[in-house]
Amino acid sequence: MKYALVTGGSRGIGRAIAIKLAKELEYPVLINYQSNDVAANETKKIIEDLGGSCTLLKFDVANIESTHKTLDTWISDNPDAIIEVVVNNAGITRDGLFMWMKPEDWHNVLNISLHGFYNVTNYLIQKMLTNRYGRIINVVSVSGVKGTPGQVNYSAAKGAMVAATKALAQEVAKRKITVNAVAPGFINTDMTAEMNEKELKRLIPVNRFGEAEEVADLVSFLASKKASYITGEVININGGIYS
Amino acid sequence: MMETSVIIGKVDEFLIEEFEVEAEDISADANLKETLDLDSLDYVDLVVAIEATFGVKLIGDDFVGIETFRDFYKLIEHKVNNTQAA
């Protein structure tokens, strides 16, 4: 059976992506999450209520041992399974001016987004290569493309993922594995809940924040067979604030 | 201990089957990469085939210095017999 894995899939953009992959592409979905059991179970219920299948995998993507241990266990319980879609969405922000930035805020942000991408994708890619098909989609950010003041750590993590997306895409393209990134701008999620939308939307040509479902639609397309000739791309989804 | 001839037989068998190489093209002194027309990604298939056949896992560094089929047979013999001894 073919599966899709979404990291950081319990809420926000990750949740919307997991639901979309289950609903539109009919993948049984594996949702990775780190700590929010309630949100993860809510997402699982939403998917199951839609007639889909969802398995929760609780582990910290920044921790390579815990990542491998959880995936090892799941794979040994499901030996015929192939995870053919991987959405690297897990990420956190720890904003602040760079001159005041504490080492833990630098490292934690890079560990989850960038090292999480390595820990999960590196583990799964061998099977994807022998299967000769795959979709890797990295959820980055407008910050990783243009850089955002106050988010040097987040911009660095997402920018590195952009570069990794382009390099990996070229390595594995011959095996029908595409690697792309989506770069959302301001999207209505918990991460942007404290931002002043009224104030900020004046900076956005479309004049509103985006919705997680809109990002999920894009990810779903990239995860589909229709997107076979798109690889190594970073697709902005930001209402026109940057291109 | 697995005999060298057994290892060579098994390796040749999966190479012929999975890499579509003709038996007569395989010889101890032939260049592995050129004969099998391997690109970097094809090594993944080689690693998987070896693991499935012998139960040992090769990593990228193991292929450093491997040029001929003889080198390759020796590598696998070393891995198989050291793993079994352990």
* Span A126-160, pLDDT tens digits: 999 999 999 999 999 999 999 999 999 999 999 99
Query: What is the least distance, in Å, from the CA of B65 to any CA of chain A?
Result: 22
CATH number of A2-237: 3.40.50.720
Interface size A-B, in CB pairs within 8 Å, comes to 15
Share of chain A above pLDDT 90, in %: 94
User: Among partner residues B41, B47, B48, which is closest to A174 by beta-carbon distance?
Assistant: B41
pLDDT above 80 for B84: no
DSSP A114: I
A119 pLDDT band (50/70/90 cuts)?
Answer: very high
What digits encode the pLDDT tens for the residues A13-44? 999 999 999 999 999 999 999 999 999 999 99
Which positions 108-127 of A are in contact with B (Cβ < 8 Å)? 126
Average pLDDT over residues B25-50: 90
A218 pLDDT band (50/70/90 cuts)?
Answer: very high
Spell out which residues of chain A touch residue B45, defining contact as CB-CB under 8 Å: 129-130
The more confidently predicted of residues B19 and A38 is A38
Average pLDDT over residues A94-113: 97
Give the pLDDT score at B85. 58
Average pLDDT over residues A231-241: 97
The ranges assigned to domains in chain A are: 2-237
Using the Cβ of B18 and the Cβ atoms of chain A, whether some distance falls under 8 Å is answered with: no
A154 catalytic residue (yes or no) = yes
The more confidently predicted of residues A125 and B21 is A125
Coil, helix or strand at residue A17:
helix
Q: Which residues contact A99 (CB under 8 A, 6 or more apart)?
A: none
What digits encode the pLDDT tens for the residues B53-73? 999 989 889 999 999 999 999
Average pLDDT over residues A73-83: 96
Residues A98/A18, Cβ–Cβ less than 8 Å: no
Q: What does A151-195 look like in DSSP terms, one character per residue? A: -HHHHHHHHHHHHHHHHHHHHHGGGTEEEEEEEE-SEESGGGTTS
Q: Are strands A134-139 and A82-88 parallel, antiparallel or unpaired?
A: parallel
What digits encode the pLDDT tens for the residues A4-15? 999 999 999 999
Using the Cβ of B86 and the Cβ atoms of chain A, whether some distance falls under 8 Å is answered with: no
Query: Per this entry, what is the length of chain B?
Result: 86
Q: Identify the residue among A82, A130, A179 best suited for mutation to test binding to B, counting B beta carbons within 10 A and taking the highest.
A: A130
A175:B39 CB<8 A: no
Spell out which residues of chain B touch residue A175, defining contact as CB-CB under 8 Å: 41
Average pLDDT over residues A205-219: 97
Distances (CA, A) of A238 to A162, A217, B35: 16, 14, 50
Coil, helix or strand at residue A28:
coil
On the CB side of A18, how many CA atoms lie within 13 Å of its CA? 35
Which positions 168-207 of A are in contact with B (Cβ < 8 Å)? 171-172, 174-175
